Amino acid sequence: MTEIMQAAPLLKVNDIHVYYGAIHAIKGISLEVYENEIVTLIGANGAGKSTTLNTIAGLLKPRQGTVELNGEVLNGLGASKIVPKGLSLCPEGRRIFQQMTVRENLEMGAFTRPLNEISASLEEMFERFPRLKEREKQIAGTLSGGEQQMLAMARALMSRPKLLMLDEPSMGLAPILVEQIFSIISELHASGVTILLIEQNAQMALHVANRAYVMETGLITMQGPAEELLQNDAVQKAYLGS
Amino acid sequence: MIFLDNLINGLSLGSIYAIIALGYTMVYGIAKMLNFAHGDVIMVGAYIAFCALQYWGFPPVLAIVAAMAVCTALGVTIEGLAYRPLRQAASLAVLITAIGMSYLLQNTALMIWGANPKSFPRTFINGTTLRIGQLSVSSATIITILANIVIMIALTLFTAKTKMGKAMRCVSEDRGAAELMGINVNRTISVTFAIGSALAAIAGVLLCSSYPILQPTTGSMPGIKAFTAAVFGGIGSIPGAMLGGVLLGVIEIFGKAYISTELGDAIVFAVLIVVLLVKPSGLLGKQIREKV
Ligand SMILES: Nc1ncnc2c1ncn2[C@@H]1O[C@H](COP(=O)(O)OP(=O)(O)O)[C@@H](O)[C@H]1O
Ligand SMILES: [Mg+2]
């Protein structure tokens, strides 16, 4: 862990402020993600977790502060120009293309990559998510919730991101599917993907993560190694229900 | 015979509506706005073709290409200058802008070409009359119907197979998710306007080949009817625009022939209202697709 931390961070968020009109949703957040880490961002509903990820991805613009990937400032680029730099967001609520087939969804994930590389990546995804292979030609809107989540994650991976950001991947899924999603996250991590994970399910998120940040109403209130936060009294009271 | 005659005329008129409706429906589906200036782009296309044929001595095919080129540039410019700055604005503001753009185009045409109607020249499109048995059909009718079929097939293939076509479907479904794929939304919307405006130029030439009177308001009524056709078929749906356009043309011609010439347009709108009461999303609008 300490060894990893000495290198320059892959993602560096520097004191960002984000507004929705007059609403000050993010009030100065800084965080880092180092290569090969899983970092989780936990917090109650409305704390500003999604806003933070959407800002990093370029869907929202910070009024102040910077987002850097590998030392390169991303501010003002816009989401579509950030994707090819190696950052991919699997958004809250999945937002797969309901009217397209599973295969088309995956192909769209590789939109910024050269055509000749796509079929190898498709095979890779079908190997990792065999259910998607079975449903390759099915219209995505007809998949079950768990399958849609897998498709959303696979689609986000199709751009070959250096950093994968997952916004509540377990939302609305049955417990057995939640476990499955988390084991996929562990597998992805093991295969070398760096992950920034948002979760309501703090228990599972803290178990899978290396480090964690706790957010409350637009601010980061706590941070540290995941095991430490798991033991922390305040965290246990607020997020682990014990 | 009269029945068949009417049917063919209805299909031809409907094909023009359908080609115009495609522009409305694609722009609505992808940019989520009603481009009320679309009808006037048709008029501009017709005037360009008119000038190219009458004054510049262009052969007909080149005149059509010139009209398409000018309309494409016009559509992309209108989008970039007038609509793009309003991307985050309330939809009412965008609608008012589109109506303003419509009048700007009409008044500019009035300034350049005057109020006197021009008579659209004869070309290969409307040059001959074909006799099939007792039926006599203008070549313009046949060419219009064929053009509609070719455009429909081409657009269907374009959206199903090409990278840009797929990007359009993504933007139409979820703009934010499309951006997260790396799709440049502004560029995709520009291309949509380009295609819609090029089709408007074709529609303008076809319209004036069948009804050869050209004036600055020439695009208004067909524009409104085509918009109606797009809603009728299910706005946002490409096959819906085709179906809506063709049906609208047929209903209009039959209504005029068998019920009342004066009330022809009212009949069209009455049918629209009934359809929307029964199926608010239009004939093919927002249907849930089934498993393949
Ligand atoms: N589109 C929006 N317009 C206005 N306010 C918003 C919008 N999206 C989120 N917010 C507000 O910003 C705050 C943070 O929301 P969000 O980032 O979605 O929280 P989280 O993901 O942690 O549940 C909330 O108070 C929410 O009401
Ligand atoms: Mg959220």
Kindly list the residues from chain B whose CB atom is less than 8 angstroms away from the CB atom of residue A159. Answer: 181-182
% pLDDT > 70, chain A: 97
pLDDT at A242: 57
**A34: alpha, beta or left? (left if phi > 0; alpha if psi -120 to 50):** beta
Residue A120: CB atoms within 10 A of its CB come to 8
Q: List pLDDT tens digits, range A206-242.
A: 999 999 999 999 999 999 999 999 998 888 888 777 5
Residues from chain B that touch A58, judged by Cβ atoms under 8 A, are: 179
Q: How far apart are CA A55 and CA A53, in angstroms?
A: 5
Burial B229-250 (b: 16+ CB within 10 A, else e): bbbbbbbbbbebbbbbbbbbbb
- For the record, the structure tokens of A172 come out as 């609305």
**Nearest-neighbour CA in chain A from B222: distance (Å):** 31
* CA–CA dist A4, A68 (Å, integer): 18
Q: What is the pLDDT of residues B5-24, one digit of tens each?
A: 999 999 999 999 999 999 99
Question: Which of A18, A89, A92, A31 lies closest to A60, judged by CA?
Answer: A18
- Chain segment B37-73, per-residue pLDDT in tens: 999 999 999 999 999 999 999 999 999 999 999 999 9
B127 compared with A110, residue with greater pLDDT: A110
Taking alpha carbons only, the member of B265, B197, B272, B184 closest to residue B231 is B272
pLDDT in tens, B156-195: 999 999 999 999 999 999 999 999 999 999 999 999 999 9
Lowest-confidence pick of A60-69, A166-175, B256-265: B256-265
Q: Could you tell me the pLDDT band of residue A201, with boundaries at 50, 70 and 90?
A: confident
pLDDT for res B290: 33
pLDDT of residue B288: 44
Q: Which residue minimizes the CA distance to atom 2 of ligand 1? A: A20
pLDDT (mean) for A145-157 = 95
Q: A169: Cβ below 6 Å to ligand 1?
A: no
Tell whether the model's pLDDT for residue B292 goes beyond 50.
no
Contact in structure between B193 and B26 (CB atoms under 8 Å) = no
Cα angle: A87, vertex A92, A94; to 5 degrees: 90
Strand A23-33 and strand A11-20: the pairing is antiparallel
Query: In B108-118, which positions are buried (b, 16+ CB within 10 angstroms) versus exposed (e)?
Result: ebeeebeeeeb
Q: Is B182 on the interface with A (CB under 8 A)?
A: yes
pLDDT band of residue A3 (cuts 50, 70, 90) is low
Say whether B290 and A107 touch across the interface (CB within 8 A). Answer: no
Is the pLDDT reported for residue A137 higher than 60?
yes
Ligand 1 atom nearest to A198, measured from its CA: 21
Residue B36 CA to ligand 1 centre (angstroms): 34
Class of residue A217 by CB neighbours under 10 A (exposed 0-12, middle 13-18, buried 19+): middle
CA of residue A46 relative to chain centroid, distance: 17
How does pLDDT run across A105-126, given as a tens digit for each residue? 999 999 999 999 999 999 999 9
ipTM of the prediction: 0.93
Chains A, B: CB contacts within 8 A come to 77
Higher pLDDT residue, B286 or B224? B224
